[in-house]
Amino acid sequence: MTDSNEHDDRSGAGRPADAGRPGRADERTNPERAGRGKSAERAAFAEIEAELAGRGFTRMVFELDRISDLLDLLGSPQRAYPSIHLTGTNGKTSTARMIDSLLRAFGLHTGRYTSPHLETVRERISLDGEPVDEARFTAVYQEVKPLAELVDDRSAEPLTYFDMTTALAFATFADAPVDVAVVEVGLGGAEDATNVIQAGVCVLTPIGLDHTEWLGDTLQDIAVAKSGIIHPGATVIAAAQEEEAARPILQRCAEVGATIAREGSEFGVLRRAVAVGGQVLTLQGLGGVYEEVFLPLHGAHQAQNAAVALAAVEAFLGAGARRQLDLETVREGFATASSPGRLERVRNAPTILLDGAHNPQGMAATVTALQEEFAFSKLVAVVGTLADKDAASMLELLEPVVDQVVVTRNSSPRALPATELAALAAEVFGPDRVEVAEAMPDAIEAAVALAEEDVPGELAGVGVIVTGSVVTVADARRLLKR
């Protein structure tokens, strides 16, 4: 494959700015032609999005033969760089983004693959912290597409949406090229499409009961599935786990000869203090103590994610055994970390927060952060969930910190209907504290009106939180970030 745009500045050292970039000079002198080119790029990308969606956004087939076959045809791009592989129930994306930010602070060119996306599929595939552009995405897709069709023709099941984006990510990273890939599991671990990478560093964030219809009804079953990303000789960075989840992880490490570092033993959060725009941490890493680390994210759960991310980067860079990473570089990496849709403030007066908590474990962390780090005098929630989630438990956790709730239906085909969610909410909050708005714009408008109602003077301390699903947050973000 060939590089599809000018992303990697290493390959262009010593060249004129427009060398190897057809049409750039002409675009400056002919804006009309440049506009037509951009329109064509957008049209081509929109067509690709439609083709990917045609594979079934939520269709799942758990086996690795198809993705392995496709990657073999592509020349095994996932072998062109080392990887850090993440699984768990909550915190994967935030931790992946912190790892990415730290690695870039140390001067490495990174690829990051996470899911789901909030606004565009391009968010799933990032180079040096930025989503790939439409031109690069299109170019890689056009090279992968005919080989994917060949795999489809000889398979009982066609490649899934996630299979395709995984292959596109690995090919994009090889083309860039990157120094390291940070790869988040889609669902589970052992049979997830990403598990072809056999990464040298594996990360397990906290494991809870989620996706039980696919992974099993117990923490042990789920941990067995997720620990399948641990391969012979790997270094495993494990967040604190309940005992039922910890046992399978340790057993897997023993079976394959992997080395494990555990939160609370080899690394962890020593101290944290709330700060303007985030928190200040003291972290115990594998190689020493890192003090006064500012993290522009809220909540004890994000502090835990930061400790896990630091240990993963230490393991990757060979720190540990009393060799510490440079403190100022670590501080720089965390200071530039971000996690859209995770207690993300998108509006002021009233404050509007977006948070993608989608299961009880995630909602508990969100509620704790709201109680500890925000001084809301009045808070209204907009909630939309998927039908296969424990909506009742999430509402019960949210109730003590929320004055009123507006229930809605998000854009997922798996969404719980607003009327059904309203019935659950009425049991938890009481009917007088529940409103129903079928469409997200109406839900946000209603929540803001409720938040501002009977509030004299300044709106400081008044807020709205949109939560219950990553899809709910994505729907709201598209409206509020315009």
- The confidence score (pLDDT) of residue 7 equals 31
H or E segment at 184?
A: strand 180-184
Closest CA to 105 of 339, 296, 334: 334
Q: Which amino acid is at 369?
A: A
* Residues in a beta bridge with 390: none
Confidence of residue 24 (pLDDT cuts 50, 70, 90): very low
Closest CA to 295 of 333, 268, 269: 333
DSSP category for residue 195: G
- The confidence score (pLDDT) of residue 13 equals 33
- The confidence score (pLDDT) of residue 217 equals 77
Please name the residue that has the structure tokens 């720089």: 332
- The confidence score (pLDDT) of residue 35 equals 62
- The confidence score (pLDDT) of residue 40 equals 82
SS3 content of the chain, % helix, strand, coil (to 5): 45, 20, 35
Question: Do 381 and 405 meet the contact criterion of CB atoms below 8 Å apart?
Answer: yes
pLDDT tens across 303-330, in order? Answer: 999 999 999 999 999 987 779 999 999 9
Question: Do 337 and 97 meet the contact criterion of CB atoms below 8 Å apart?
Answer: yes
Confidence of residue 231 (pLDDT cuts 50, 70, 90): very high
Question: What's the mean per-residue pLDDT of the chain?
Answer: 90
Average the pLDDT over each of 150-159, 212-221, 354-363 and give the range with the smallest value.
212-221
Is residue 213 over pLDDT 90?
no
Is residue 30 over pLDDT 70?
no
Q: What size, in residues, is the chain?
A: 482
- The confidence score (pLDDT) of residue 303 equals 97
Structural domains in the chain, sorted by start? 47-335 (3.40.1190.10), 344-480 (3.90.190.20)
Question: Do 220 and 245 meet the contact criterion of CB atoms below 8 Å apart?
Answer: yes
pLDDT tens across 382-434, in order? Answer: 999 999 999 999 999 999 999 999 999 999 988 999 999 999 999 999 999 99
